[in-house]
Chains A and B, each alone.
Chain A
Amino acid sequence: MDYDFSEDVAKIWPALMFMAGFIVVVGALLFVLDILPRWGRGKERLQMAGFLGPALVLLGIGLVYPLVRTVYLSFYDAGGDAFIGFDNYTWIFTNDDTLTMLRNTVLWVVCVPLFATGFGLLYAVLVDKARGEGIAKSLIFMPMAISLVGASIIWKFIYAYRDPGVEQIGLLNQILVWFGGEPQQFLSNEPGNTFYMIVILIWIQAGFAMVILSAAIKAIPAEIVEAARLDGANPWQMFWRVTMPSIRPAVVVVVVTITIATLKVFDIVRTMTGGQFKSSVLAVEMYNQAFRSYDDGKGSALAVLLFLLVVPIVIYQARQLRHRTEIR
């Protein structure tokens, strides 16, 4: 398509004027709010409202309103026309497809935080103060830099399957063939396919866990470690009695963050299987219902369920944070 700049020139001036106007108005407002308390008592409340107001309004538009609307829609039918009570929720817990989807979501939420944190912790302890620690750590951290879709495409090639008769293009299947095995269809056989996809997220998240935990380990006061050594603690006791208790808050943060990320997992499943072969998860099913089946009711009900599952974890984390600041 040819682009005609001259048509847009006229639009630049109004845009610039608008930006300038915006800066002037906001600047003046902030200035007034800043000097407000000097004008007399009781103006603090006004100042507070002035500073918090815009954020609250934006939160209302961007978070509260969609939340209310989603909950509302989840009690209506596909087009949002007829009230159907809890039917959409009953559907989630009675339909074979959605039950498989819930089972998969549970598998994800259990496996990914457990193994990602486990591997991250093990790795952080093992490479701590070892030679080439920097390089070893960046190797594990590198997958974090890849987008989820990018990682999924890489792994799609690793799992790729070709007929036994022809040359394999997938790394795993080629290795199987070298050892005299039959090539496997990793992604189309359930429930294995869910685990093969879980591996990807572990691969990505282990780096995150490792970095945070490694930093926490390094922050353990040298006196404690030295005291334990002098008392004759073996490495096993060192780990369980000294390291673990000291880094417990960091472990909680890591587990909680990864759990929330896992609950919302979408990109990997959509890229690898599109939710077919009984490998769907909550977020993928939500998207498919809302945007593929055009069923706003079921899509919203799934969104509400996802929200309800995430909320307790967030509350727990917020409490932990407050707890820690109180101790300090």
Chain B
Amino acid sequence: MAVLSRRRRAITLAGVAALALAASACGSSSDSGSSNADKPECQPYSQYRVDKTKHVSIYATIRDTEAEKLEQSWKQFEDCTNIKIDYEGSGEFETQIKVRADGGQPPDIAVFPQPGLLATFAKSGQLKQLPASVQANLDKNWSKDWANYATVDGKVYGVPLGANVKSLVWYSPGLFKEKGYEVPKTWDEMIALSDKIAASGIQAWCAGIESGDATGWPATDWIEDIVLRDQGPDVYDQWVNHKIPFNDPKIFSAAERAATILKNPKYVGNPKTIVTTSFQEGGLPVKDKKCGMHRQANFYSNQWPKGTNVGPDGDVYAFYFPPVDPSKGKPVLVGGEFVSAFSDRDEVVKVQTYLASGEWANSKAKLGDWISANKSLDVSAVTGTIDKLSVQILQDPATVARFDGSDQMPAQVGSKSFWTGMTDWINGTKDTKQTLDYIESTWPK
């Protein structure tokens, strides 16, 4: 190589210097954690602190905006404790978690949307039982019902993360006001209202159960909600745990009750269109006053177009899906996710403990569109109107909460034959008896 000209040499030197600077800048950012730890806002996190930067991987179904909020919610925790959380959300979680775990590369922490799935991994011995510090937070912050969902053979494997309330019916307060409709308080009032709406030429109910290869799930929520109302929580528990068969006459009665709405052309138009209408679009006609009611969980609030005013006097709002017999309490169908660990490394336990704390729940709720059944959750921290309503329902002493049944049933039923069975049922290719017999026949022996 020829000798560099002076100019060239200067440029080279500058380049080297810049690189060195950049490298040192990178270097300093990695140990900034330790200096952060002394700041006053890091005081609450002192118990979680580790000396050297450690990584904890979390794998879950939560994606996009919701995932960003999740990462935001533990940002301060990361800054103060030297624990870096590598979060990954996937729409294929249910299938990929098995591939990863069986392949020997499970995440440190998995967030299961279904207790049934969690139980599969607990039974195969891959999940770790809750460490003492996490168990303490679970006992402090959740009711026994919620703690039970992630309990397998008497051992606890998971802590609830978020929660959703499924027993809600969306409606248009504007339409109700115009026509002088009242929010129904009982099942019979709701049916009378449906008749009134249908008579006025508006579709009384709208629904959509198309959801890619999970098509059918919204209909399973309908059946579960109505089993809870038609038969009560005890029969519901027996049904979910297969103490009574899936095609028990009690379940048949509940399914027939569901059919009076879902398969009733007077209320829903052509029921067959329900199977090709996507879950996301299912309730949208409510906003345009083209449809009276839409039964869907609180998370449906994310589906309304931008600028929709959600509230008691807004474009859309929801009422509690009324009971058949109000004297027997308020049955509520709930759903949620559970945090379980495949590893018991110190930093993993610390993250688990933090996620089970009231501090985290409040930090997450402040970011909006999210609720939890965590008892330490401050209702004033909850932002959305629907979320407030949901938390009120969850914390109401009259509430009898039951977890989404299909999520607790074995995967062969809960995420397969129950879905396809419901699709065929609404599509009219199977009647109620055939549908229930079919699902019963797929229950693993």
Interface residues of A (CB under 8 A from B): 1, 4-7, 9, 78-79, 161, 163, 165, 185, 187-188, 190, 270, 273-278, 288, 291-295
Contact = CB atoms under 8 A, between A and B. Distances in A.
Nearest to B92: A291
B90 interface: no
A7 B216 CA distance: 46
A325 B216 CA distance: 54
A276 B86 contact: no
Contact of A292 (B27, B87, B215, B415): B415
B276 A276 contact: no
B212 A274 contact: yes
19 contacts: A4-B26, A4-B30, A6-B23, A6-B29, A7-B30, A163-B273, A165-B269, A185-B276, A188-B272, A190-B429, A274-B213, A276-B216, A276-B420, A288-B416, A292-B94, A292-B95, A293-B411, A293-B415, A295-B444
Given A6-B27, A163-B270, A292-B95, 7 more contacts: A6-B29, A9-B23, A276-B213, A276-B419, A277-B423, A277-B427, A291-B95
B120 interface: yes
A277 B427 CA distance: 9
B388 interface: no
Interface of B: 23, 26-27, 29-30, 53, 71, 86-87, 94-95, 98-99, 120, 124, 212-216, 269-270, 272-273, 275-276, 411-412, 415-416, 419-420, 423-424, 427, 429, 444
A4 B98 contact: no
Contacts of A275: 213
Given A1-B87, A6-B23, A6-B29, A161 B213 contact: no
A284 to B, nearest CB: 9
A6 B19 CA distance: 12
Which of A78, A187, A188, A278 has the most chain B CB atoms inside 10 A of its CB?
A188
B26 A274 contact: no
Contacts of A293: 411-412, 415-416
B412 A188 contact: no
Given A5-B26, A161-B273, A163-B269, A294 B411 contact: yes
Contact of B98 (A78, A163, A273, A294): A294
A278 B275 CA distance: 14
Contacts of A165: 269
B30 A6 contact: yes
Contacts of B214: 274
A3 B82 CA distance: 15
A153 to B, nearest CB: 11
Which 6 interchain pairs have the tightest Cβ spacing? Answer: A274-B213, A6-B26, A291-B95, A293-B412, A294-B411, A161-B276
Nearest to A280: B420
A218 B269 CA distance: 58
A79 B213 CA distance: 23
Contacts of A161: 273, 276
A156 to B, nearest CB: 10
A257 to B, nearest CB: 28
B272 A185 contact: yes
B120 A294 contact: yes
A9 to B, nearest CB: 8
A188 B420 CA distance: 12
